[in-house]
Amino acid sequence: VEGYFANGPLSGKTVVVTSGPTHEPIDPVRYIANRSSGAQGTAIAEALAKLGADVTFITGPADHPMPQGVRLVRIETAAEMHAAVTEALPADAAIFAAAVADWRVASASDSKIKKDGSGQLPVLEFAENPDILQDISHLREGRPQLVVGFAAETDDVIANATAKLKKKGCDWIVANDVSPETGIMGGSENAVTLITADGAEPWARASKTDVAAKLAQRIADALT
């Protein structure tokens, strides 16, 4: 797709955005997942498209309306998201807003697991999913110029997010406090801190649309 507005500051730039949860199957009717509405990732993809970027939006199952003016790739599992991101490269920037399940069920059952009436409980074994953000950040060839991660944290948000930036090797982390008392999870507003090599920059609490617009502008400033 051409950029939403082809002559914005990001015209000619390609950006990959991940969003939403991933679903990891247990059996044909059950799955495990993170809580994620996909609202913030959707808003970011749309804000980037409005600045003229060619956006590939890779999303797990989310009820939220899909962004306009982007290339849409729907996936279910973390493994599928990883493959879709790899396929979408090269890109100038990659923004990882998805809430990726850290674990999948090691051997999902092809047939429905039944209650057998004996009261015996199923036992699930897990395997660790690929860390998509970390893998892309560490690419030796074809790494996007700007790699941005998200960190939904509780407790010491900035310390946790700064540690995550270093561990993952990304350029920026957008950190937010998802403690229940903030009311951020599932709401229409977000209060984030942008963490870069220069330090932590708290942004005023605002609508997810406004946070997305500000982040898209910062991305445009960094790429041009």
Residues known to be catalytic: 34
Give the containing element (helix H, strand E) for 78: helix 78-88
- Residue 96 Cβ, how far from ligand CTP at the closest point, in Å? 4
Q: What are phi and psi of 48, to 5 degrees?
A: -65, -40
- The one among 76, 102, 135, 210 contacting Ca ion by CB under 5 A: 102
Instruction: For residue 169, give both structure tokens.
Output: 């090797």
> Can residue 146 be called a binding residue for ligand CTP (CB under 6 A)?
no
On whether the CB atoms of residues 28 and 70 are closer than 8 A, the answer is no
> Can residue 184 be called a binding residue for ligand CTP (CB under 6 A)?
no
Query: Would you mind telling me the total number of residues written for the chain in this entry?
Result: 224
Q: Which stretch binds ligand CTP (CB under 6 A): 9-17, 68-76, 93-101, 188-196?
A: 93-101
Lay out the site mask for ligand CTP across 24-63 (x = CB under 6 A, - = otherwise). Answer: ----------------------------------------
- Residue 152 Cβ, how far from Ca ion at the closest point, in Å? 8
Question: CA angle at residue 11 from 136 to 219, to 5 degrees?
Answer: 50
- Residue 104 Cβ, how far from ligand CTP at the closest point, in Å? 10
CB atoms within 10 A of CB 192: 27
Q: What are phi and psi of 186, to 5 degrees?
A: 80, -5
On whether the CB atoms of residues 169 and 152 are closer than 8 A, the answer is no
Q: How far apart are CA 31 and CA 71, in angstroms?
A: 26
Q: Which stretch binds Ca ion (CB under 5 A): 8-16, 98-106, 127-135, 179-187?
A: 98-106
- The one among 93, 100, 146, 157 contacting ligand CTP by CB under 6 A: 100
Q: Which of residues 4-23 bind ligand CTP (CB under 6 A)?
A: 18
List, in sequence order, every residue forming a beta bridge with 192; answer none if it has no partner.
176
Q: Would you tell me the crossing angle of helices 208-223 and 39-50 to the nearest 10 degrees? A: 50
> Can residue 172 be called a binding residue for ligand CTP (CB under 6 A)?
no
- The one among 37, 129, 162, 190 contacting ligand CTP by CB under 6 A: 129
Residues in contact with Ca ion by the rule CB under 5 A: 102
Residues in contact with ligand CTP by the rule CB under 6 A: 18, 78, 96, 98, 100, 102, 129-133, 149-152, 164
